[in-house]
Each structure stands twice: as C-alpha cells, then as structure tokens.
Amino acid sequence: MLAIFMKVSPILSILTALAVISGPLCFSQDKNGKVKKQTVKTVEGLRFSPVRMRVKKGETIELKIENHDPNDQPHNFVLIKLGALKEIQAASTEVGPDSIASGYVPQSESVLVKTGLLNPEEEETITFKAPKEPWIYPYVCTFPGHAMIMYGALYVDVKYTKGEAFDTNLPEIVRMGELEKTKEKVAVERPTFIRCIRPDAGPAAIAVALPEELNVCWDAGNCRLRYAWSGGFIDPTRMLNSRRKRFLTPNTNSSSASH
C-alpha cells in the first residue's frame, strides 16, 4: 500500500500544482462561470455609446470596443480609479516620445484597464473584473484633445438615480444634448389619444399614443390607419392659428414610419 501511495502522490502533487497555476487563467469567468458581455462604440462627436454602464462588483466583463467614428478619429478606452478623471485628462495632453508606443495612455497608477489605440472600423476585446468597491468609475479616451469631453461612467453596484440629462458623471455636451431631447418630448400618460386635424389625414383624425413611444394616426372618416411614428407624441403648442393649416404635428424628436 505504501508503494502505491508513493507512486500516486507525485501525480497528485502535479495536479495540485496545475490547479494553483490555472487559477489566474480562469480570469474570464466568475465563480458561477458567467461572463457579462458588453459592447461600447466610439461614435461621431467624440462620444462613447453607451456613455454609461452598470455592472456588479467583482463581475467578469468581456468588453468589446468598436471604433465607428465617421471622422477618421482614433480612440481608446481607459478605465480609471475614483477621482482620477482630472488627473488623466491633464496627463493626456502631455505628449512625449513614448506616447505613440503607449497608445497615448498616460503612465499612471490610476489606470485600471486599457485598450490599444483603435483606428476607424477597428475593434478590440478585453476581459477584466469589475472593481470590488461599489462606486462610479470613469472611462475615458486619452488620445490628445479628446479626454476633456470624451468620457463615460461605469456604475459598479450603483443604481442610476438620474437620467443622462442630469447625470453630472457624464460630459456636459452629452447632458446638454439629452436635456434638449427632454424638452422636445411631450409628457403623456400612455395609452391616450386626442382628436385633432392631422397632416395627410381627413378632418376626423385621431392621434393615439401607445406604449413604448409608438404613436399612430387613425383616420376616423375613412376608418383606416393612416401612418405611425415613434418617439414623442404631438405637441399642442405647435397648433397653427390658420384654419386651413390648423393641425398638430409630431415633435421634432420623433422618427416617422411609412404610411
């Protein structure tokens, strides 16, 4: 029996050693074997899309970064520590001999995760674990001249408490754009309807607001659906005084569907 044990024990030792070594190699999975997959695109106007994301603390993230900027702008993705946004923004403007080799990522301990510099229509996938401390972590493009307005927020075990228009963790240009969209929308409790004169419909038209920002124009005179559009509902303030042109129109933030 002793001889058998002596023969087996080296094998057990090797297996144990492999198990210890293989621990870091399983980095792409959490204890439940699950990986959260997320795609972030860089788009026109020096913006990330989405500009904010929610993850769980310690969660394994498989993040794909795609550069879809139509203006031939290179971008990267750099996740940084709490309170380090201004530091990284300032550091990104200091271009030196090693900047190209580093993909314009500042040499800083505040950098948690980074990609290489992506040219238009290039992509890169990185796998990492979300920070263990719940908070809101900035991510930023550090290509020279981008960092001041091109950043977003990774919410780690923190819920969104405000819409993007009022989230101070986001760039001002993003907040102002979302605020304008908010102003354009007409608040209605869906479903609802209003009797009105509608363009391209008879005088007995009915505008109907359905769930999920779907709206339709029903022509009661001809008893048929005229058209549909998505987005905001009609804006009563845009009713014209002229009797010949007196109708309500969808707000300018909506997108029309075919008749």
Query: Would you list the domain boundaries of the chain?
Result: 28-183, 192-256
**pLDDT by residue (tens digit) across 179-206?**
877 665 566 788 988 887 777 777 788 9
**Backbone phi and psi for residue 115, each to the nearest 5 degrees, phi listed first:** -110, 175
**pLDDT by residue (tens digit) across 85-138?**
999 999 999 998 889 999 999 999 999 999 999 999 999 999 999 999 999 999
**pLDDT by residue (tens digit) across 19-72?**
333 333 233 344 556 899 999 999 999 999 999 999 999 999 999 999 999 999
CA distance 37 to 87: 29
CA distance 85 to 153: 11
CA distance 143 to 125: 19
CA distance 79 to 95: 20
Which sign, positive or negative, has the C-alpha torsion 173, 175, 180, 184? Answer: positive
What is the predicted pLDDT for the residue at 231?
81
Looking up tokens 């109708």, which residue turns up?
247
- Using alpha carbons, list the distances in angstroms from residue 257 to 42, 93, 209, 211, 229: 28, 45, 14, 16, 5
CATH topology assigned to domain 28-183 = Immunoglobulin-like (2.60.40)
